[in-house]
Amino acid sequence: MDGNDRWRSRRWRIVQGATAMVLNAIYEEDFLGFSYGFRPGRGQHDALDALVVGITSTKVNWILDADIQSFFDTVSQEWLIRFVEHRIGDPRIIRLIQKWLSVRPRRSRVIRVG
C-alpha cells in the first residue's frame, strides 16, 4: 500500500466515523435503556452489571440471550436501505451507505516464513 492508498483509506475511515456519529445520534433515541449491543459507551460488562441488578432486585421467570449469526451477511441490503431512508433524508448519506454495503472486505494476506 503506497502513501496515496494510506491517505485515501484514512479519509474513508474519517468519513465512516463521522457518518456513524450522525447515525448514532439519530437512532440512539429509539433504543431502550436495557439495550447494550453495539452502542457507544455501553459494553458487555455494562450489560452484565445491569443483569445482576435486574435479577437480584426483581422476580425473574426467564432470561433470553440472542445472537443472530451472520446477520449482516444475510440481511437484504435493499430492505436495509429502505429502512434507513425513512429516517435519513440526505441522499448523499444514503449513497455512502450503499457504497459501503457493496464493498467486500479484503482478505488479509498471510505471509508464511520458513
* Predicted TM-score (pTM) above 0.85: no
Query: Residue 91 above 80 pLDDT?
Result: yes
- Exposure string of 2-17, with b = 16+ CB inside 10 Å and e = fewer, is eeeeeeeeeeeeeeee
pLDDT given for residue 78 in this prediction: 93
Taking alpha carbons only, the member of 56, 59, 54 closest to residue 32 is: 54
Tell me the per-residue pLDDT of 1-50, one tens digit each, with 9 for 90 and over. Answer: 666 677 778 888 899 999 989 998 898 888 888 788 778 888 889 988 98
- Supply angle C-alpha 15, 100, 94, rounded to 5: 75
CB 36 within 8 A of CB 44: yes
Instruction: Quickly tell me which residue has 520458513 as its cell.
Output: 114
pLDDT band at 111 (very low <50, low <70, confident <90, very high): low
